[in-house]
Structure 1
């Protein structure tokens, strides 16, 4: 069973069958999914979205998985976050996707950091990566707000050149020490 992770504004939880319409707003939007290809394509309709959510639930193996991001104040699903295995290695990638109406409010970094912290503190994950298209300035800024360090370019994942960001367990401890000293 997937854990539920709470932040000040968000509830990060397992996807439900009742989330299909909200998920389609996110993953049926080509402005969102253009950054996810080739790992994931635009979802064309409710049936395809339902099948995708069911497929995620069937294939997720902890700590990897897909979660819905819900606004605590309204109960509305505004996005998704994921921990994904990067093949052929067993590296873990953290990813985030938000409905366009939720862009610009800091929800992606809040959800991404919460998932990173959960994975490192509760699932013994030592490091996470984010793969970002060189043209995706928003995702790069989000990775850095989460505390991820840019470590260069790579073409070893998804057969395309991507910027690689990394967050290590010790980086979280360092960030925690810095914020408590302020």
Structure 2
């Protein structure tokens, strides 16, 4: 099971069945899902959302996992984040999905930084990729804030043209992993 990661403002924790309503507020919003690659489509109802959450809980193999992104001060779920393997390659993609009300607060950057650092320091990963639609300027800016470099366009992964970003372990700029991200054992 993936660990819970704690940042200054956020908890990245495993999704629970009881999160289905909150998750549907994100993945059931067409304005949010229009930006997601074909790997995550619009979810029509709470039962389908429960099924997706259960699939994530059973299919995830560390370091590839899905996390709920929760505000520490309120316990409100503001989005989701994931590290997923890009088939048929072993490349690892990072993704962040925020509810519209949570856009513009820096949560995607904070969650992306936490996952990137965790994957490289605890998950044994040397590089992480992001695939971003050509019109998704917000996600491209987030990738750059995480320290990712633009590698160009590709249609290798999802059978559509996407912008490819990458960050390698040696490219990370940070003080000390343990002061930025606290990893908690899940009970």
Q: Quote the residue 2:147 is aligned against.
A: 147
For the residue of structure 2 that corresponds to 1:176, the secondary structure is coil
Deviation, 1:40, is: 1.7
In structure 2, the residue matched to 1:180 is: none
CA distance in 2, matches of 1:44, 1:176: 40
The answer for the alignment partner of 1:22 in structure 2 is 22
Q: Which residue of 1 aligns with 2:181?
A: none
The alpha carbon displacement at 1:37 in A equals 3.7
1:71-119, Cα deviation, whole Å (9 max, x unpaired): 0000011100000100110000000000000000000010011010001
Q: TM-score, normalised by structure 1?
A: 0.94
Structure number with the bigger relative contact order (C-alpha 8 A, sep ≥ 6) is 2
Residues of 1 paired with 2:52 and 2:115: CA distance?
A: 21
Residues 120-139 of structure 1: matches in 2 within 5 Å? Answer: 120-139=120-139
Q: Kindly indicate whether residue 158 of structure 2 is the aligned counterpart of residue 158 of structure 1.
A: yes
CA RMSD of aligned residues (A): 0.8
**Structure 2 regions of 5+ residues with no counterpart?**
176-187
Bigger helix fraction: 1
Task: Give me the whole-angstrom Cα distance separating, in 2, the residues matched to 1:151 and 1:27.
Answer: 28
| Correspondence for 1:2 | 2
Moved over 6 A (4+): none
* Residue correspondences, number: 175
* Alignment partners' CA distance in 1, 2:28 and 2:161: 25
